[in-house]
Structure 1
Amino acid sequence: MRKIVVVDYPKDWGLAIEDIEVVEAQAYLTDAAYTDIRNARIFNLCRSYKYQSAGYYVSLLAEARGHKPIPSVTTMQDLKSPTIVRAITVEINDLIQKSLANIRSSNFTLSIYFGQNVAQKYEKLCKQLHDLFQAPLLRAQFVQKEEWVLQSISPIPVNEVPQSHWKYMVDFAKAYFARHRFSGARINRKIYDLAILVDPAEKEPPSDRKAIQYFLEAAEAQGFYAELITKEDYRRLPEFDALFIRETTSVNHHTYRFARKAHADGLAVIDDPVSILRCTNKVYLAELLTKAKVPIPKTMIIHKDNRKEVEEVLGLPCVLKKPDSSFSQGVVKAKCRESLKEELDKMLADSELIIGQEFSPTDFDWRIGVLDKQPLYACKYYMAKGHWQIYNWEGKKQDTAGDVETVPFEQVPFTVLHTALKAANLIGNGLYGVDLKEIDGKAYVIEVNDNPSIEAGCEDKVLKRELYATVIKSIKQRIDNHKNGRVNE
Structure 2
Amino acid sequence: MRKIVVVDHPKDWGVAIDEVEVVDAQTYLTDTNYTDIKTARIFNLCRSYRYQSAGYYVSLLAEARGHKAIPSVTTMQDLKSPTIVRAITVEIEDLIKKSLATIKSKTFTLSIYFGQNVAKKYEKLCKALHDHFQAPLLRAQFVFKEEWVLQSISAVPVNEVPDHHYKYLKRFAKAYVARHRFAGARITRKVYDLAILVDPKEKAPPSNEKAIQLFVEAAESMGFYTELITKDDYRRLPEFDALFIRETTSVNHHTYRFARKAFADGLVVIDDPTSILRCTNKVYLAELLTKAKVPVPKTMIIHKDNREQVEAELGLPCVLKKPDSSFSQGVVKAKDKKSLKKVLDEMLADSELVIGQEYTPTDFDWRIGILDKQPLFACKYYMAKGHWQIYNWNGKKQDEEGEDEIVPFEQVPFHVLHTALKAANLIGDGLYGVDLKEINGKAYIIEVNDNPSIDAGCEDKILKKDLYTSIIKSIKRRIETNKNISTNE
In the alignment, which residue of structure 2 is the partner of 1:288? 288
Instruction: Tell me how far apart the structure 1 counterparts of residues 212 and 479 of structure 2 sit (CA, whole Å).
Output: 21
Q: Deviations over 1:401-430 (max 9, x none)?
A: 000101110010000000000000000000
Instruction: Tell me how far apart the structure 2 counterparts of residues 330 and 150 of structure 1 sit (CA, whole Å).
Output: 41
> Any unmatched runs of 5+ in structure 2?
1-84, 97-105, 108-140, 149-190
Query: Does residue 77 of structure 1 match 2:91?
Result: yes
Amino acid at match of 1:365: D
In the alignment, which residue of structure 2 is the partner of 1:463? 463
In the alignment, which residue of structure 2 is the partner of 1:347? 347
Instruction: Tell me how far apart the structure 1 counterparts of residues 88 and 361 of structure 2 sit (CA, whole Å).
Output: 50
Q: Deviations over 1:60-95 (max 9, x none)?
A: xxxxxxxxxxx997451366799xxxxxxxxxxxxx
Instruction: Tell me how far apart the structure 2 counterparts of residues 435 and 476 of structure 1 sit (CA, whole Å).
Output: 27
Offset at residue 303 of structure 1 (A): 0.2
Task: Assess, with a 3 A threshold, how the Cα gap between structure 1 residues 360 and 477 changes in structure 2: closer, same or farther.
Answer: same
Normalising by structure 1, report the TM-score: 0.63
Instruction: Tell me how far apart the structure 2 counterparts of residues 480 and 441 of structure 1 sit (CA, whole Å).
Output: 42
Query: Does residue 245 of structure 1 match 2:259?
Result: no
Residues 298-377 of structure 1 aligned to structure 2 (within 5 Å) = 298-377=298-377
Amino acid at match of 1:443: A
Instruction: Report if the CA contact (8 A) 1:80-1:154 is conserved.
Output: no
Instruction: Tell me how far apart the structure 2 counterparts of residues 225 and 427 of structure 1 sit (CA, whole Å).
Output: 30
Residues 32-431 of structure 1 aligned to structure 2 (within 5 Å) = 74-77=88-91, 151=143, 192-431=192-431
Task: Assess, with a 3 A threshold, how the Cα gap between structure 1 residues 451 and 323 changes in structure 2: closer, same or farther.
Answer: same
Instruction: Tell me how far apart the structure 1 counterparts of residues 270 and 221 of structure 2 sit (CA, whole Å).
Output: 19
Instruction: Report if the CA contact (8 A) 1:384-1:402 is conserved.
Output: yes
Offset at residue 155 of structure 1 (A): 7.1
Instruction: Tell me how far apart the structure 2 counterparts of residues 153 and 311 of structure 1 sit (CA, whole Å).
Output: 60
Task: Assess, with a 3 A threshold, how the Cα gap between structure 1 residues 463 and 73 changes in structure 2: closer, same or farther.
Answer: same
- Aligned partner of residue 91 in structure 2, secondary structure: helix
Offset at residue 446 of structure 1 (A): 0.3
Task: Assess, with a 3 A threshold, how the Cα gap between structure 1 residues 367 and 198 changes in structure 2: closer, same or farther.
Answer: same
Q: Deviations over 1:428-476 (max 9, x none)?
A: 0000000000000000000000010000000000100000000000000
Amino acid at match of 2:356: G
Q: Deviations over 1:370-421 (max 9, x none)?
A: 0000000000000000000000000001100000101110010000000000
Task: Assess, with a 3 A threshold, how the Cα gap between structure 1 residues 154 and 380 changes in structure 2: closer, same or farther.
Answer: farther
- Aligned partner of residue 426 in structure 2, secondary structure: helix
Q: Deviations over 1:212-254 (max 9, x none)?
A: 0000000000110000000110111110000000000000001
In the alignment, which residue of structure 1 is the partner of 2:112? none
Instruction: Report if the CA contact (8 A) 1:317-1:333 is conserved.
Output: yes
Instruction: Tell me how far apart the structure 1 counterparts of residues 289 and 401 of structure 2 sit (CA, whole Å).
Output: 27
- Aligned partner of residue 375 in structure 1, secondary structure: strand
Query: Does residue 483 of structure 1 match 2:483?
Result: yes
Amino acid at match of 1:151: V
Q: Deviations over 1:263-317 (max 9, x none)?
A: 0111000000000000000000000000000000000000000000000000000
Task: Assess, with a 3 A threshold, how the Cα gap between structure 1 residues 80 and 359 changes in structure 2: closer, same or farther.
Answer: farther
Instruction: Report if the CA contact (8 A) 1:79-1:153 is conserved.
Output: no
Residues 445-464 of structure 1 aligned to structure 2 (within 5 Å) = 445-464=445-464
Cα root mean square deviation, aligned = 2.5
Q: Deviations over 1:182-227 (max 9, x none)?
A: xxxxxxxxx9100000011111100000000000000000110000
Task: Assess, with a 3 A threshold, how the Cα gap between structure 1 residues 81 and 457 changes in structure 2: closer, same or farther.
Answer: farther
Query: Does residue 435 of structure 1 match 2:405?
Result: no
- Aligned partner of residue 422 in structure 2, secondary structure: helix
- Aligned partner of residue 437 in structure 2, secondary structure: strand
Q: Identity rate of aligned residues, in percent? A: 76
Amino acid at match of 2:90: M
In the alignment, which residue of structure 2 is the partner of 1:473? 473
Offset at residue 150 of structure 1 (A): 8.0
> Any unmatched runs of 5+ in structure 1?
1-70, 83-106, 109-148, 157-190
Instruction: Tell me how far apart the structure 1 counterparts of residues 144 and 213 of structure 2 sit (CA, whole Å).
Output: 43
Amino acid at match of 1:301: I
Task: Assess, with a 3 A threshold, how the Cα gap between structure 1 residues 261 and 73 changes in structure 2: closer, same or farther.
Answer: closer
Task: Assess, with a 3 A threshold, how the Cα gap between structure 1 residues 199 and 154 changes in structure 2: closer, same or farther.
Answer: farther
Task: Assess, with a 3 A threshold, how the Cα gap between structure 1 residues 79 and 198 changes in structure 2: closer, same or farther.
Answer: farther
Q: Deviations over 1:17-76 (max 9, x none)?
A: xxxxxxxxxxxxxxxxxxxxxxxxxxxxxxxxxxxxxxxxxxxxxxxxxxxxxx997451
Instruction: Tell me how far apart the structure 1 counterparts of residues 369 and 387 of structure 2 sit (CA, whole Å).
Output: 24
Instruction: Tell me how far apart the structure 1 counterparts of residues 241 and 147 of structure 2 sit (CA, whole Å).
Output: 25
Task: Assess, with a 3 A threshold, how the Cα gap between structure 1 residues 318 and 152 changes in structure 2: closer, same or farther.
Answer: farther
Amino acid at match of 1:481: T
Instruction: Report if the CA contact (8 A) 1:72-1:265 is conserved.
Output: no
- Aligned partner of residue 325 in structure 1, secondary structure: strand
Task: Assess, with a 3 A threshold, how the Cα gap between structure 1 residues 228 and 294 changes in structure 2: closer, same or farther.
Answer: same
Instruction: Report if the CA contact (8 A) 1:424-1:448 is conserved.
Output: yes
In the alignment, which residue of structure 2 is the partner of 1:141? none
